[in-house]
Amino acid sequence: MPAEKKHKGPIMFPKATLERLKLYHTLLQEEKNEYISSDEIARKLSIKPEQVRKDITYLDYSGKPKVGYHVSSLLDTLDELFGTKVTDNIIIVGAGHLGKALANYDGFENYGISVVAIFDNNPEKLGTYVGELVVLPLDDLGRVIRRFNVKIGTICVPGESAQKIADLLIKKGIKAIWNFAPVILEVPEGILVENEDIARSALTLKHLLDRTPTEKI
Ligand SMILES: NC(=O)c1ccc[n+]([C@@H]2O[C@H](COP(=O)([O-])OP(=O)(O)OC[C@H]3O[C@@H](n4cnc5c(N)ncnc54)[C@H](O)[C@@H]3O)[C@@H](O)[C@H]2O)c1
């Protein structure tokens, strides 16, 4: 019996804190020791220990003085925060290079994400397989969203089609959009959008690289 999804109240975290908490979550999953200190987390992630301690004060969790954080308890707290133990069904629109790569990625399971369908408008792709999923026409969107109680729609179509697809997803009942297209979407109030851009992340690296004396590394 899958765990029930509960509404968890208002948003409490600054976005930057949330981003770092996601990194702690990843780090703790790899941790073999029973306890970990804020200094150790900070060192592994190249941030300041005070920052780690401050971030963790946002959680309903406290560590043991001089010992550190109990890894599995902190992980449980973060799992609860991010809902990773509850599976969210998501769909992908655009069965191209990126859409197929996402649909085939088996690591989503660890994040409580299950890709239940992939859609495209290219007649030549309809009915073909991406892993175990058959590429479906957009006409099936509403049926699939209702059938699998899908709240998150992933946009993997070219930029020029992204807004149209966002509008359609929202019309069919999607509440949150994971947007990989390089455009800023306009959505009604109450609809969540997370813009993903691998290339944009590289800009952070480029910026930092230009300002870091790498000969010291
Ligand atoms: N955010 C990132 O880091 C990142 C990385 C790579 C690509 N992208 C973006 O992701 C998108 C997809 O990239 P790709 O390389 O997979 O492109 P692609 O051309 O390989 O695939 C696009 C797919 O979308 C389908 N499509 C086009 N219009 C559609 C519509 N109106 N309805 C349904 N399906 C439609 C096409 O038939 C095709 O299968 C692009 O917007 C690209 O810029 C983002």
Q: Is the pLDDT of residue 189 over 60?
A: yes
Count H helices and E strands in the chain, helices first: 8, 9
Q: Six-digit token pair at 56?
A: 């963790």
The answer to whether 137 touches 167, Cβ cutoff 8 Å, is no
Q: For residues 217 and 214, what is the distance between their CA atoms, to the nearest angstrom?
A: 5
98 Cα–ligand 1 center, Å: 7
> pLDDT exceeding 70 applies to what percent of the chain?
93
pTM: 0.87
Pairing type for strands 152-155 and 176-179 reads parallel
Q: Is the pLDDT of residue 8 over 90?
A: no
- Between 142 and 14, whose confidence is greater? 142
Ligand 1 pocket mutation pick from 91, 98, 197 by most atoms within 8 angstroms of CB? 98
pLDDT of residue 2: 47
pLDDT of residue 14: 87
Model confidence band, residue 205 (pLDDT cutoffs 50, 70, 90): confident
Model confidence band, residue 6 (pLDDT cutoffs 50, 70, 90): low
pLDDT of residue 1: 41
Q: For residues 209 and 24, what is the distance between their CA atoms, to the nearest angstrom?
A: 24
Q: Six-digit token pair at 55?
A: 């971030």
How much is the mean pLDDT over the chain?
92
Average pLDDT over residues 54-58: 93
Average pLDDT over residues 15-36: 94
pLDDT of residue 198: 86
- The CATH architecture that domain 15-82 belongs to is Orthogonal Bundle (1.10)
Ligand 1 pocket mutation pick from 138, 157, 168 by most atoms within 8 angstroms of CB? 157
Write out pLDDT tens, residues 28-54: 999 999 999 999 999 999 999 999 999
* Four-point Cα dihedral 125, 127, 128, 134, nearest 10: 120
3-state secondary structure of 90: strand
Average pLDDT over residues 162-174: 98
Helices (H), 31-129: 38-45, 49-57, 71-82, 97-104
Provide the annotated binding site for NAD(+): 94-99
Average pLDDT over residues 61-87: 91
**Domain coordinates of the chain in residue numbers?**
15-82, 88-200
Q: Is the ipTM of this complex over 0.95?
A: yes
| Range 179-182 contact pairs with CB under 8 angstroms and sequence separation of 24 or more | 179/154, 179/155, 180/98, 180/154, 180/155, 180/156, 181/155, 181/156, 181/157
Residue nearest to atom 44 of ligand 1 (CA): 180
Write out pLDDT tens, residues 97-142: 999 999 999 999 989 999 999 999 999 999 999 999 999 999 999 9
- The CATH architecture that domain 88-200 belongs to is 3-Layer(aba) Sandwich (3.40)
